[in-house]
């Protein structure tokens, strides 16, 4: 399903992207252009913000966005979760991606995975499924093209963002991210259970151009939005009793 995007969500995403930019470019683990980094941050934040806005408008259960309560002035990495739901503080992580080779929606559902990071450094260190912080994991896709050109200097782009964060709209053509596709969600428990059914040499996957490795987590086995809202409603009823 496509998540609606309001002007309020667009503005929030631009503002927070600008706040995160200076810290992020100073801690890069691999090479991206100044504009590519900006584009990537905006895409991730739009996926998260659009989902939060949708859940808040379709459930009375409290949804707490980490970016709205953080006290580090956006200078630290997130704590392994993007938002929490309910008094139970169920932690949720949102992953955003662009379909490889402009794949169809049916191909994404049938052949792609929710992107659960297993390693950031080509397997030198690992994040075991049991150690994943979030309980719920969501996959959002955007049919868009990542912009890379426009600035040669991270410092110059950061300075311009500090003067007017609205320039993001033109720098990356941010409207291309106004149609986020919610493709499914799963739980930490199901990830662990599924991986145990696979041979060890079939539990991960990666792309040739990245140092990241991911755990297998097929979208075709994921839950849908009505099921997420149903879980939230049952959690609300439980917390109110």
Give the model confidence (pLDDT) of 200-212 as tens digits: 999 999 987 778 8
Domain-located, residue 2: no
Domain-located, residue 146: yes
Closest listed residue to residue 229, CA positions, set 124, 144, 138: 138
Report pLDDT for 210: 79
CA–centroid distance for 6 within its chain: 18
Domain-located, residue 1: no
Average pLDDT over every residue of 207-229: 93
Cβ(108)–Cβ(183) below 8 Å: yes
Report pLDDT for 22: 85
Report pLDDT for 204: 96
CA–centroid distance for 132 within its chain: 15
Closest listed residue to residue 63, CA positions, set 88, 45, 42: 88
What spatial distance separates the first Cα and last Cα of the chain, rounded to whole Å? 32
pLDDT digits (tens, 9 = 90+) for 86-128: 999 999 999 999 998 899 999 999 999 999 999 988 889 999 9
Number of structural domains (the chain) is 1
d(CA 19, CA 17): 5
Average pLDDT over every residue of 232-241: 89
Report pLDDT for 76: 84
Query: Residue 101 sits in which domain range?
Result: 7-240
Report pLDDT for 208: 79
């Amino acid at each position: 399903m496509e998540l609606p995007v309001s002007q309020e969500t667009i503005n929030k995403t631009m503002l927070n992207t600008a706040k995160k930019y200076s810290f992020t470019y100073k801690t890069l683990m691999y090479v991206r252009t100044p504009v590519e980094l900006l584009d990537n941050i905006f895409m991730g934040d739009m996926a998260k913000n659009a989902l939060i806005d949708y859940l808040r408008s379709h459930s009375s259960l409290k949804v707490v966005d980490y970016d709205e309560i953080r006290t580090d002035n956006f200078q630290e990495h997130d704590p392994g979760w993007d938002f929490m739901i309910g008094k139970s503080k169920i932690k949720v992580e949102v992953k955003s991606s662009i379909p490889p080779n402009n794949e169809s929606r049916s191909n994404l559902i049938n052949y792609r995975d929710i992107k659960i990071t297993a390693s950031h450094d080509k397997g030198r260190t690992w994040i075991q499924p049991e150690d994943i912080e979030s309980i719920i994991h969501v996959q959002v896709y955007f049919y868009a093209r990542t912009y890379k050109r426009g600035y040669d200097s991270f410092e110059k782009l950061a300075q311009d963002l500090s003067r007017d964060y609205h320039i993001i709209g033109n720098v990356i053509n941010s409207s291309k991210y106004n149609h986020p596709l919610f493709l499914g969600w799963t739980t930490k428990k199901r990830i662990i259970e599924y991986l145990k059914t696979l041979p060890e040499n079939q539990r991960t996957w990666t792309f040739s151009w990245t140092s990241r490795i991911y755990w297998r987590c097929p979208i075709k086995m994921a839950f849908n939005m009505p099921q997420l809202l149903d879980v939230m409603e049952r959690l609300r009823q439980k917390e109110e009793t």
